Structure 1
Amino acid sequence: MTFTNMWRKGYDPSPAADFNNFIYEANLAEYCMNGFKFTRWLDGGNKLNKLDRMLVCERFWGLWPTASLRALPRELSDHCPLILTTTSTDSGHIPFKFFNAWLSKPGLDELVRSTVCAFVFTGPLDLFLAEKLRRIKEAIKSWNKANRRKEGKVLNASIAEIHRLDLICECTNLTESEATSYLEHKKIVSSINDDRLKDRHQKSRIKWAIGGDENSAFFHGYINSRISKSRLNGLLIDGVWCNV
């Protein structure tokens, strides 16, 4: 259902209240509009109004809850045409990020092999491959989550032990076994932090490949501002302005 409110020079709140009551009693819903905030231009853009709306009933909303409402460019008209799209814009599964540091951790190879061997599916080959990759992805995600929890506990325990031995060093020398334990825990902390640093480095490379250098916009804007300040837009010759 599409409607356009009648624009009046003098605003009367009573018709607006009646119409709002009608919307409430009819249990109509409205989609969020994209594209433009306003739908009508007056006086060359000095006055902007959101007059054109689109209301749907509860049954329509239940059939297409993910529909999108968009205001199109108005071009020669003073109103923006509205388009309601009910087609789903699902782009498929969310991409799965595999980190190179996982390859050095024990248990991943056996996990993938056991998941592939236990996989059973009947259907088209494309669906067979998609479901197989999905099972492997879910298994790796569960394995990584459990491994992260385990690493966190080991890291906290090693840090606590190093702190305890540091306090002992302030009072007396460490025994041979305590010194060996100190070096082992330092090695554990260093190894876990190195793996996490590799993950962060890979994440940063992925973000840079997708979004580029974030500072490039600043430098390009600075260069463009210098160019605009140095540009000669015209010359005044014998009292006559000449454009370049």
Structure 2
Amino acid sequence: MEFVNAVGQSGGLVCLWDPGVFKFSGSIKNYNFLIIKGRVKGCGEELNILNIYAPQGVSAKKDLWDVIESEIGRSSGMWILLGDFNSVRSPDERRNSAFKAPCARNFNAFIHNMGLVECNMTGKQFTCNRDYGKKLSKIDRMLVLQFLDCKDGFEEVVKGAAESLQNSGLADSTLSKKFSFIRNHIKKWRDDMLLKERETEVKALEEIKSLEETLVERELEEEEEWALWENKKVLKEFEQRKNKDLKQRARVRWAIDGDENSKFFHGSINYRKARNSILGLNIEEIGCLNRRLSKRRC
């Protein structure tokens, strides 16, 4: 566990974890937040957990968002932000209490700029109850951030293609041409990205091979061990992206061809039938080849 002491009757943060699941590597402490850094055992993914207790003032919260944004920018891995943000995002998240538009605007900008995604929380709509239920608000929430799915340059490609096409005519025709134009630019960007990733992957494989050959002759130095680990991490991330891409392609194809009376549909059915079939039984040390054999022979 790690904690931040309370000051008087306010503040105070604590984080607890299971060492069998999470390998702790360090922490960052602030009066308004506590960051726990480490890795998830089993998969080795970097995970940062930020437990927050935001201040009351609008400007103080804005300063806190800037500090947190800076801390996230200096770190890698996945992020979970949870706790008392002391801010609401819209007027319907408050009841019988003042809604401060600048505070909500700053908070929403922070979430948008960082690419954070809010997780739905079970339970009641409001998380803070004051004056015996007269004042209600939703100030506790959970936000997540994962860098693995980010693709550098994608948004710029789409915006650039949309802005560069100058076309006049009917609205539906112009829209169709714009979609086609953007799609072609995305394909070119994708091919360039795959080529660069392939070059990086080949380079990582070569360095791993060289370091493993060195390992046979002598112990690796600290920098060489770090290089070996980093190259293996690169290969693992590439493999995860490939698996996600293949999974998504399979879903798309099934959505298009899954219910059609097509070769793909029959191939899927035959594969499942073959996988679930019983090829043979072994009863009292007498083998039965398949279910077509008579009961007498079995």
**Superposition TM-score tier, normalisation by shorter sequence:** 0.3 to 0.5
More helix by share: 1
Per the normalisation by structure 1, the TM-score is: 0.46
Q: Which has the larger radius of gyration?
A: 1
More strand by share: 2
Per the normalisation by structure 2, the TM-score is: 0.38
